[in-house]
Amino acid sequence: MSRRRLTRQQKARIAAIRERRLHQAQHESDKLPARHDETPRDGIVVVRHGRSLVIADNERHLVNCQFRQNLGDIVCGDRVIWHSTGDDDKGVVTAVKDRTTLLSRPAYGGHEKPLAANLTQLVIVAAPSPPPTGYLLDQYLAAAEHFGLRAILVLNKSDLHGNEHDKLLEQFETYENIGYRVLHVSTKQHAGEEKLRSALQGESSILVGQSGVGKSSLVNMLLPDLDVQTGALSKTSGLGKHTTSSATLYFLPQDGTLIDSPGVRSFRLLIGDRAELEQGFREFAPFLGHCQFGDCRHEQEPGCALTEAVESGKIADWRLNHFRLMAQALEKT
């Protein structure tokens, strides 16, 4: 499906509105309802439930907040300005700070549904069982490039051996050769745990991957206090521990945050045309613009620079094949 592009004038107007809201929240607190504390405070959205937010303040104290309707679609990871209502566990969000990144997925009606904001890393999890389907891993990598996120590939269940494990090792070696970081992890044996923790330190990360590859096991391994954080969240929100299907932000013990989101199960690439898709394959960059024909589709055209790069061993043939399949899928949307 096509990605809606904003004009320069629209972007400027949106930026001006956000700046005005921040200014009003920080310097015009006299306009807030009388029941609000006049002191503006920083926070980060931990989870959203309908018209309610649970945010964490700078001391990671959780607060249940309402928010003004004109603030738009607030999501997990948003940085906000909020005001206390006098109750230590209640507040009102009055402004949303500018986002550095926004991860979205297609929704009904041709719209984009935001999933999480201000991410820095997409942690792509794969395993020998079940093996990756189709071009899923390359779809995630193209999405990371598209959204401006660092991508880390995690080969989970690395203790399993066999043909599928060997195939993944070969595939992951190609990813390493084109500059992606690859980690081998076994939650069963705790292998690679410290390297993964180090890779997440100080970052805002989200786990993606098909069902059954062990994302929940990774979350449990990385968050030894998961029950404590979940319990505090349940108490603050007033909802049960297992009632949410929303993206939820957790604080990592070594600094950094990890977002767990059921929304990534249906996450699909939000790229509108071949030119954008080309940018999602980083090893294509040196060859783009060097095809014999300016409108080359990188299929069977003579003088295609990407095809020649495959023949000379500079691009993996399966990566180009995955690009072609993804490009064909774009044309059907």
Between 320 and 16, whose confidence is greater?
Answer: 320
Would 3 be classed as within a structural domain?
no
Between 132 and 266, whose confidence is greater?
Answer: 132
Instruction: Work out the angle between the directed axes of helices 193-200 and 215-222 (0-180°, nearest 10).
Output: 80
Last residue of a domain, one of 244, 266, 288: 266
Would 25 be classed as within a structural domain?
yes
Average pLDDT of the residues of the chain: 83
Total of domains in the chain: 3
**Is the same domain home to 236 and 305?**
no
Contacts for 243 with CB less than 8 Å, ≥ 6 apart: none
Give the pLDDT of residue 32: 41
The model's pLDDT over 7-66, given as tens digits with 9 standing for 90+, comes to 556 556 666 666 565 555 444 333 444 455 678 899 999 999 888 899 999 999 999 999
The model's pLDDT over 117-142, given as tens digits with 9 standing for 90+, comes to 999 999 999 988 888 888 889 999 99
Give the pLDDT of residue 318: 96
**Is the same domain home to 298 and 157?**
no
We report the CATH number of the domain holding residue 31 as: 2.40.50.140
**Is the same domain home to 119 and 258?**
yes
**Is the same domain home to 157 and 296?**
no
**Is the same domain home to 91 and 106?**
no
Instruction: Work out the angle between the directed axes of helices 136-147 and 317-332 (0-180°, nearest 10).
Output: 80
Would 66 be classed as within a structural domain?
yes
**Is the same domain home to 279 and 257?**
no
The model's pLDDT over 195-254, given as tens digits with 9 standing for 90+, comes to 999 999 999 999 988 888 888 889 989 998 888 888 888 888 776 554 446 789 999 998
**Is the same domain home to 79 and 110?**
no
**Is the same domain home to 118 and 250?**
yes
- For 106, the domain range is 102-266
Task: Round to whole Å and give the CA distance between 135 and 150.
Answer: 19
Q: Are 47 and 229 in contact (CB under 8 A)?
A: no
